[in-house]
Each structure stands twice: as C-alpha cells, then as structure tokens.
Amino acid sequence: MHQLSLTTVLLLLLCFYGFSFFMTLRIGKKEESADGYMTSNGAIGFGMSASSMTATWVWAASIYAAATSGYKYGLSGAIHYGFWGALMILFIYPFGRRFRELAPNAHTLAEIMHARHGRCSQMILAGSNLLGSVISLMVNFTAAGALVSMLSPLSFMQGVLITALGVLSYTLWSGFRASVLTDFAQLVAMILAVVIIIPFLFFTLGGPDLFVEGWHRLDAEQQDFFSKKALLEQGAPYFVAVLAYAIGNQTIAQRLFAVREDLIKPTFITATIGYGAIVIGMGMLGFIAVLAGISPTDGDLNNLVPGMAATYLPPLLICMFFILIIGSLSSTADSDLSALSSIVMADIYGKNVARGRPNPRTMVWVGRVTMVVATALGVCFAYLRLDILSMLVFVGALWGAIVFPVIVSLYWNRVDNLAFTSAVLAAFASFLVARFELLPMTGLLGLVAELVACVGAGVVVGLMAFGLLGKRAGLTVGVLAAAVVLPFALGDLRAYPVLLSSLLAYGVSAIVCTVLSLRSVQEFDFRLIAERVTSFQAPGPRTPATASTIKPAAAKPAHSARATGGAREVTL
C-alpha cells in the first residue's frame, strides 16, 4: 500500500515543477547574456544569494546522511554531520572574498587557475568539477527515483525521468539565473516542512518521555555527546572532506561570483546557520528513531527517514515531506546543471575551443546543450545504478588534493604551474595508496604516512585559521594542531583509512607545493588575473579590478619578496 496515490504524486510534481517553470518565465530573455547565464549580474542581493547558497548546499543525500549519523552515533551524530558541513560554508568565505578581489569578472574557479597557472591547472580543476557535478546530478536523480517509488505507485525510473525533465525544463533557458530564482521558493518549502515535521514526529513518538523510556536503547558511545567513535568515524573525516568540497564544487564558486561583493560575508554567515539548522534538525530524526526503537526498512539506513514519514505522518504532512525532499534535490540538481554549463562554456569553449574569443550567442547555446547532455548522462547513470561511493571517493580525493595548491596559489606569488600540478598528482597518488591499502600501512611506511597526515591535519586547521585570522594565526594554529594530533595519530591513525588517506592528501600536496614553490624563481603579479579573467559579453555593473582594489602587497614589485629565516615571505 503506497502512501500517495498516483494522482496525488503526479499533481504534487506538476505543481512543484510547474510553479518553478512559471517563476522562470518572469526572468526569461529572448537573447540571454553569456555572463548572465553563468553568474547573473554579479550583484545579487543578500536574500536571494543566501537562500540560493543554503538551498544548493542542502541536498537529499545530506538529509538522509544526517539522519543516518544520528541513528548510528546517537546524541552527537547529527552534530557530527551538520555542524561541520555548516562550518565549512563559514570558513570558505574569506577565501571567496580573495577570489572576488583578484578576479571580479570570473565565472569559474578553474578560469582563475587558467589565468594564474595556465591550461594544465585549469583542466585539473575543471575536470574534477565536471565529474563531481555529474555524480551529484546522478545522486539527486537516484534519490528522487527511490522516494517516488517508495511513496507512490510510480516506478524508480519514472521518478527519475519526471524529476530530470522537471529540473531541466525550468533551468534550460535562463541557466544560473533560473537556478537562483527558484532556490528561494524551494527553500521556503523545505524550511516549512522542517519546522512542522520535526516537532510533529518528536511528539508523536512520545515527546520528552522518549528520553526516559528509550534511553536504555542507546549504547555508551551513543549516550556520550563527546563520543570518540562518532568523532573519528563521522566528524573528523567529514570535517576534512567538506573543505575539499567547498573548494572543488563549482556550485559554491558560482554563487560566490554572483553575489554583490560587499554581501559575501552576511550571505555566507546566514547560509551557515540555515544549513546547520536544517540538516542537524533532520539528523535529529535519526536520534529520535533510535530512542523510539525504530528500525529502517530492509536494514537500509537510507530508508529510515522516508520510512518514518510513511509510517507516522498524516497524508498532508507526507505531501510536505515529499516536497521537502523533491525541493532539496531539485535545488541542488539545477545548481549542478548551471555549474556544468558554466564550466563547459567558460573553461572548455571560452578558454580552449574559442581561445578567449568566444561568440556569446554560441556560448549560451553551448551551455544549454551541456545541460541537456548532462541531464541525459545523469538519467543513464541513475538507471545503471553505478557505484556512487567509489566515484565519490575519487572525486573527493581529487578535490582534497587541490585545496592547498588552489588557495596558496592565490596568496603566494611564487607558486608556479609545476608546483601546482606536481602537488595535486602526488597527493592524489598517495591518497589512492592509503585509501585502498595498495601498500601495507605498517612499519616505517605506516609511520611516515601518519606523520604526513599530521601535517595534513595542521594544513586543514591552519588554512581555516589563515582565512579568518591571517597568516601569523594560520601558521601558529596549523603547527599547534599538527603537534596536538601527533601523539594520538602515531600508531593509531592507520586503523582509520578514510581519515588517514584524506589527511595524507592534504599533507602531501602542502609539502610538495611548498618545497617546489620555494625552489621557484617566479614572482607572479596578481593584477594579471583580473586582466586575464574578463566578461565574455558587454560589461555589466561589475567593477573591474585595478591596482587599488587588490591588496597593495599583492602588487609589490618582484624585488619586494624577502627572505625570513630561510623561508620566503608569503605575499598577502
């Protein structure tokens, strides 16, 4: 017996996608601008940009995964998923401001790397972005198919096809602008569902009495808010991964280049709180499920939240839950389509095929064709039920390997293409060795891996401190973090290959990039980035970067770099 009839589910989907399509009709232009198709006018206001950032970052998988974490790790589980994901948005904004300062007319991060290092570095970033966005698209379509088939008489593939066509229908013509506009409506639907469904399920399953009657169902680790198991198995690997996702994911960069420059900080802070509240809240459903003694259907934890909704919610709230999930996955899927189109438009067509002299009209059509092809690929991959986890491991590793070289390239004028590329390749290779245990992580090799992983831990924490507090704090906090982790990691970290391999990627990329940069004689003038990254069409209201808008130190002449204690001063 399905909870939603065929008529109900078709009506819900028709209303959802019909309303989204109707909204985008209001902004449709016969002749869409190439720059607008990728990043709007570069001056979107606070409300729209913060809504879009939040809606994009909350996807169906994050709701399911947060609940899974709450179910597995109890009291702290939801925090170890949602809090770190939210914090990532906060930590990335200082770097975002630097990206905008250096390249106010950029459309993709890979475009900036092209201006900084050339084609090789650009294609590494663009390639990983493309792969990541196609995977994300497939995951969202798969989640839609699974939800539709669970709650209605429609099949998995019917759900996938309706969702894919629905998302494509309202995103195709206006691209990124349509994605941002619909994100607000989708976010409203999502938050309303969260605000109503979580308290409803909590009180339906027993309310405060649940803690008295169900507490014995938790083991010692699940009862502990400071559970070591939850931290090492969920929190720490996720904390490390999200920084990589923030840098490697074009959907975030795209919004960064679209928001009005002076609104970057409030936008990111609001998105941090919004994402945290929604995802941790949904994660609490997993915690409630353990307390109430609920088991997921067929033992599959992805069925936990849909199963709870189907069992305990009245028909109206099941409809709300359905819209919550469809809204979350559609807002991310349309962002993925916009991200994919802008990478192909700017990085492949604009910078490589057209060699920097693209025809704007052709460029827009390149974006639209990309969306159609990407949707078809997402549907095919969803049909084939490919092993998502394995692909995510590879993309996550590649993104983890590029974080340090990308960030440091935009602050340190001595990083060159050789340092960037070598660091990424070495880090990716070391990740593969540790993650899949291609070599036994024992004896001296295990010890060296753990030492480098400690450097990686210092790099992750140090980068975050550097972004918020500056170079001195970043270096101090990074060294302290590595020193604090060291006694716990040596001999023990090898038991956690996911965490070890992620930290190893950071450590190796940082060491290789730093060593090769110290040997480099290049001293890059950061003003060149703004000169090289320009609008593809008629200039809009954006402010072109000048020497005065870039921090003075970045524009210092070559002889200004000075030696300090054997190491060159980082030009900030």
Partner 1 sequence: MKTAILTLYILIWPALSAAVLAALSWGVWKDIRAARRKGQQLV
Binding site for partner 1 (CB under 8 A): 27, 40-41, 44-48, 50-51, 54, 177, 180-181, 184, 187-188, 191-192, 194-196, 198-199, 202, 207-208, 211-212, 270, 273-274, 276-278, 280-281, 284, 287-288
Please say whether the beta carbons of 257 and 176 come within 8 A.
no
Residue 368: CB minimum distance to partner 1, A: 18
How far from the centroid of its chain's Cα atoms is residue 260's Cα? 21
Q: Which is nearer to partner 1, 219 or 300 (CB)?
A: 219
Q: Which is nearer to partner 1, 207 or 314 (CB)?
A: 207
Residue 191: CB minimum distance to partner 1, A: 4
Q: Which amino acid is at 373?
A: V
Residue 327: CB minimum distance to partner 1, A: 13
Q: 567 forms bridges with which residues in the sheet?
A: 564
DSSP state of 217: G
Q: Which is nearer to partner 1, 277 or 388 (CB)?
A: 277
Residue 280: CB minimum distance to partner 1, A: 5
Q: Which is nearer to partner 1, 188 or 558 (CB)?
A: 188
Residue 302 to residue 286: CA distance in whole angstroms: 11
Give the Cα-Cα-Cα angle 76, 81, 84 (nearest 5 degrees). 105
Residue 213: CB minimum distance to partner 1, A: 11
Residue 184: CB minimum distance to partner 1, A: 6
Please say whether the beta carbons of 452 and 511 come within 8 A.
yes
The residues, any chain, with a CB within 8 Å of residue 474's CB and separated by 6 or more, are 462, 463, 465, 466, 467
Q: Which is nearer to partner 1, 47 or 544 (CB)?
A: 47
Residue 86: CB minimum distance to partner 1, A: 11
Please say whether the beta carbons of 140 and 155 come within 8 A.
no
Give the burial string for 314-340 (b: 16+ CB within 10 Å, else e): eeebbbbbbbbbbbbbbbbbbbbbbbb
Q: Which is nearer to partner 1, 66 or 426 (CB)?
A: 66
The residues, any chain, with a CB within 8 Å of residue 34's CB and separated by 6 or more, are 345, 358, 360, 361, 363, 364, 367, 536, 537
Angstrom distances, CA of residue 485 to CA of 448, 455, 462, 503, 512: 14, 9, 13, 12, 21
Which is nearest to 150 in space by CA: 378, 317, 309? Answer: 309
Residue 323: CB minimum distance to partner 1, A: 15
Which is nearest to 542 in space by CA: 300, 203, 259? Answer: 259
Residue 170: CB minimum distance to partner 1, A: 13
Residue 240: CB minimum distance to partner 1, A: 24
DSSP state of 564: E
Give the Cα-Cα-Cα angle 511, 515, 517 (nearest 5 degrees). 120
Q: Which is nearer to partner 1, 264 or 288 (CB)?
A: 288
Please say whether the beta carbons of 122 and 113 come within 8 A.
yes
Residue 192: CB minimum distance to partner 1, A: 7
Q: Which is nearer to partner 1, 54 or 332 (CB)?
A: 54
Q: Which is nearer to partner 1, 186 or 502 (CB)?
A: 186
Q: Which is nearer to partner 1, 212 or 376 (CB)?
A: 212
Max CA distance (Å), the chain: 76
Please say whether the beta carbons of 420 and 121 come within 8 A.
yes
Q: Which is nearer to partner 1, 46 or 383 (CB)?
A: 46
Residue 50: CB minimum distance to partner 1, A: 6
Residue 44: CB minimum distance to partner 1, A: 6
Angstrom distances, CA of residue 510 to CA of 76, 237, 406, 408, 462: 32, 18, 11, 9, 11
Give the burial string for 106-135 (b: 16+ CB within 10 Å, else e): bbbbbbbbbbbbeeebbbbbbebbbbbbbb
Q: Which is nearer to partner 1, 188 or 469 (CB)?
A: 188
Residue 530: CB minimum distance to partner 1, A: 24
Residue 560: CB minimum distance to partner 1, A: 41
Residue 483 to residue 50: CA distance in whole angstroms: 37
Which is nearest to 252 in space by CA: 78, 8, 55, 453? Answer: 55
Residue 235 to residue 80: CA distance in whole angstroms: 4
Which is nearest to 66 in space by CA: 327, 328, 301, 311? Answer: 301
Q: Which is nearer to partner 1, 84 or 287 (CB)?
A: 287
Q: Which is nearer to partner 1, 211 or 488 (CB)?
A: 211
Q: Which is nearer to partner 1, 384 or 538 (CB)?
A: 538
